[in-house]
Amino acid sequence: MRQLVNSLSPPWRAALAGAAIFAAVTMACVVARFTSDSPVRYADNLEHFKYGSTGGEKLTGIPYAIWMILPSLFPEYLHGTDYRSFGFLYEDGHDLPIGVSKRRYQGIERVSFNCAICHVGSVRENASSAPRYYAGMPSNTVDLRGFYEFLFAIAEDPKFNGSLMVAEMKKRGIHEDWPNRTILKFYAVEAMRSSLLERKRALAFILGEPAFGPGRIDTFSPAKALLHFNMQSAPEGERIGTTDFPSVWNQRKREGMQLHWDGNNTSVQERNRSAAFGTGAYPPTLDRPNIRRVENWLLDARPAKYPWQVDAVRVSHGARVYKQYCADCHGASGDEFGAGQGRIGTVVPIASIGTDRHRLDSYTYDLAVNQNLLYAEYGGERFEHFRKTNGYANMPLDGIWLRAPYLHNGSVPTVRDLLNGSAARPKVFYRGDEVYDRTRLGFEANVEAAAGKSFFRYDTSLAGNSNSGHEGEAYGTELADADKDALVEYLKTF
How far CA 353 is from CA of 168, 221, 259, 357, in Å, comes to 54, 23, 17, 10
| CA distance linking residue 396 with residue 416, whole number of Å | 18
How confident is the model over 153-178, as a mean pLDDT? Answer: 95
Task: Identify the pLDDT of residue 482.
Answer: 98
pLDDT of residue 30: 55
Task: State the pLDDT at residue 225.
Answer: 86
- pLDDT, residue 7, reads 65
Tens-place pLDDT, residues 199-257:
999 999 999 899 999 999 998 998 888 888 988 888 888 999 999 999 999 999 999 99
| pLDDT higher than 60, residue 175 | yes
pLDDT, tens digit, 9 for 90 and up, residues 337-389: 987 888 999 999 999 999 999 999 999 999 999 988 888 888 889 999 999 99
Helix 162-171, helix 189-202: angle, nearest 10? 110
- Distance between CA atoms of 257 and 346, rounded to whole angstroms? 7
Phi and psi angles of residue 100, each rounded to the nearest 5 degrees, phi first? -120, 125
153-177 mean pLDDT: 95
Quick check: 473 and 481 in contact, CB under 8 A? Answer: no
pLDDT at 390: 97
Tens digits of residue pLDDT in 57-68:
999 999 999 999
- Examine the pLDDT at 2 and tell me if it is beyond 80: no
Is residue 48 scored above 80 in pLDDT? Answer: yes
The answer on pLDDT for 459 being more than 70 is yes
Length of the chain: 494
Query: Does residue 8 register a pLDDT over 80?
Result: no
pLDDT > 90? residue 115: yes
Burial (CB < 10 A; 0-12, 13-18, 19+), residue 119, is buried
Predicted local distance difference test score (pLDDT) of residue 14: 61
Q: Which pLDDT score, from 0 to 100, does residue 4 have?
A: 53
> What confidence tens digit (pLDDT) does each residue in 251-308 have?
999 999 999 999 999 999 999 999 998 888 889 999 999 999 999 999 999 999 999 9
Question: Does the pLDDT value for residue 152 go beyond 80?
Answer: yes
Average pLDDT along the chain: 92
Band (21; pLDDT cuts 50, 70, 90): low
Average pLDDT over residues 437-445: 98
pLDDT reported for residue 466 = 98
Q: Identity (one letter) of the amino acid at 38?
A: S
Where is pLDDT greater, at 358 or 15?
358
Instruction: Assign 393 a pLDDT band (cuts: 50, 70, 90).
Output: very high
Q: Residues 6 or more apart from 16 whose CB is under 8 A from it?
A: 5, 8
Q: How confident is the model at residue 19 (pLDDT cuts 50, 70, 90)?
A: low
Mean pLDDT, residues 2-17: 61
> Can you tell me whether residue 334 is helix, strand or coil?
coil
CA nearest to 284, candidates 192, 378, 199: 378
Position with higher pLDDT, 381 vs 1: 381
Q: Give the integer Cα–Cα distance in Å for 382 and 378.
A: 6
pLDDT in tens, 406-424: 999 999 999 999 999 999 9
* Model pLDDT for residues 129-146, shown as the tens digit of each residue: 999 999 999 999 999 999
Taking 70 as the threshold, does the pLDDT of residue 15 lie above it?
Answer: no
Is the pLDDT confidence value at 110 over 90? yes
Query: What percent of the chain stands above pLDDT 70?
Result: 93
The per-residue pLDDT for range 72-84, each reduced to its tens digit, is 999 999 998 899 9
Determine the Cα angle at 327 with ends 325 and 331, to 5°: 160
